[in-house]
Amino acid sequence: MIIKSLSVRNFRNIASADFIFDPKVNIFTGNNAQGKTNLCEAISVCFGKSFRSTRPAELIPFGSAEKQTAIELSFTFDSMPDKENVIRYEQKGSRCRLKFNDIELKEAEKLYGALRYVLFIPEDLYIVKGDPSVRRDYVDFVANMINRVHNVKLYEYNKALKQKNNILINMEPGDKSAALMLESWNDTIAKFGVNVMCGRIRHFGSLSALAARFYGQINGGAEQLTMRYESTVMGETPFTAEDVELMYDTYKRRLTETYERELKMKYTLVGAHRDDVSFAIDGMNAKDFASQGQIRSIAVALKLAEAQMIRDKSGDLPVIILDDVLSELDAVRRSFIINHIDEHQVFITSCNLADTDKFENGQIWNVSGGRFELKEG
């Protein structure tokens, strides 16, 4: 996919901006709080959903009398480079409309499913350094990106888990009927839990192999990234998404083993909801030992892996938006990002013009007070 042009009217601090984009790399530089992330967000809104806000009223410029905003984005799919498609977003007050080639879309999120793009925002660093829940959410996001049934499976699992935990919370000691109900919930949880684990594991192999490859490219081959899915059910036992019976039997055994402790803790102690992902650089755990630049490089490698997975699935190269990605990276890593993400169209923001001194091919826009100016030469 290539975004050809974008027009933004009255969106956050951007009063009016029009762009014809470079098919390869577009860099936006400017001081803090000038409108770089707002521009990235305007693109995400056209793709169905703001990555920053769920409240449309926040998108309207402060103090605006008309309380309306409009964005128009034109793009081509790689398979039909001559057919230009137009997405138009219009908002009046908190009423939003999204049109795709003049056809109104009732549920904008459907578009989000169809038009994939890849986004890095600084919060993505928490995939590496944050709590296990962030990493679980991330592997669920990747699994769902490839197969949308995954979120249904996850919903079923979480619902069953909640029911079981409610019994644990309210159960009196020696309550036999509650104990029987717990046993029955454990069957359900093991079944749904295996579904969730399979959904995650099925794509984890590609994600980790691709991320390792891109991590090597970002740092010039000096370091090696390895990723591992850490299952509270399977422990050190090796398993693949095909080992459904082994997983189910182990799941049930582990739930039985932890039963007494669960009664005390009033919580389900093992299962898909407690799993994690570990990252290691040259064998050292990244969460504990990696530098800021290494953590950032892992996050970028994951994003490039996502892009490749989308491409493998859809045949279309998604656009990549990298917001505030260059800070903390050395010259080798910066140069890779601005010059060597070859095939995709890339949008990069940076507060530091010097970050782009080795920029070889593409456009640079200066951003100031919500105004965008294309840098000549």
Q: Closest approach of Cβ 324 to ligand ATP, in Å?
A: 6
Counting contacts by CB under 6 A, is residue 357 touching ligand ATP?
Answer: no
* Binding-site member from 12, 153, 252, 296 for ligand ATP (CB under 6 A): 12
Q: Measured from the CB atom, is 32 or 54 closer to ligand ATP?
A: 32
Q: Measured from the CB atom, is 117 or 215 closer to ligand ATP?
A: 117
Q: Measured from the CB atom, is 37 or 231 closer to Mg ion?
A: 37
Query: Amino acid identity of 321?
Result: I
d(Cα 33, Cα 29) in Å, to the nearest integer? Answer: 11
Q: Closest approach of Cβ 25 to ligand ATP, in Å?
A: 18
Residues engaged in binding Mg ion (CB under 5 A): 36-37
Is-contact 362 22, C-beta < 8 A? yes
Distances (CA, A) of 38 to 52, 129, 158, 245, 310: 9, 26, 34, 48, 25
Q: Closest approach of Cβ 50 to ligand ATP, in Å?
A: 11
Counting contacts by CB under 6 A, is residue 80 touching ligand ATP?
Answer: no
Q: Closest approach of Cβ 179 to Mg ion, in Å?
A: 53
Helix (H, G, I), strand (E, B) or coil at 9: strand
* Binding-site member from 328, 351, 363, 366 for ligand ATP (CB under 6 A): 351
Restricting to residues 29-68, name those near ligand ATP by CB under 6 A: 30, 32-38, 58, 60-62
Residue 276 phi, psi (nearest 5): -150, 175
Place of tokens 């290539």: 2
Q: Tell me which residue has its CB nearest to Mg ion.
A: 37
Q: Closest approach of Cβ 317 to ligand ATP, in Å?
A: 25
Chosen from Mg ion, ligand ATP, none, partner binding at 33 (C-beta under 5 to 8 Å by type): ligand ATP
Is-contact 13 37, C-beta < 8 A? no
User: Closest by alpha carbon to 225, among 302, 135, 129?
Assistant: 302
Site size toward ligand ATP (CB under 6 A) is 16
Chosen from Mg ion, ligand ATP, none, partner binding at 362 (C-beta under 5 to 8 Å by type): none
Counting contacts by CB under 6 A, is residue 174 touching ligand ATP?
Answer: no
Residue 246 phi, psi (nearest 5): -60, -45
Q: Per-residue DSSP letters for 106-152?
A: SSHHHHHHHS--EEE-GGGGHHHHS-HHHHHHHHHHHHHHH-TTHHH
Tell me the sheet residues that pair with 87.
73, 100
Residue 114 phi, psi (nearest 5): -85, -40
Helix (H, G, I), strand (E, B) or coil at 104: strand
Chosen from Mg ion, ligand ATP, none, partner binding at 225 (C-beta under 5 to 8 Å by type): none
Tell me the sheet residues that pair with 103.
100
Counting contacts by CB under 6 A, is residue 356 touching ligand ATP?
Answer: no
d(Cα 21, Cα 27) in Å, to the nearest integer? Answer: 10
Restricting to residues 290-349, name those near ligand ATP by CB under 6 A: 324
Chosen from ligand ATP, Mg ion, none, partner binding at 34 (C-beta under 5 to 8 Å by type): ligand ATP
Residue ranges binding ligand ATP (CB under 6 A): 12-13, 30, 32-38, 58, 60-62, 324, 351
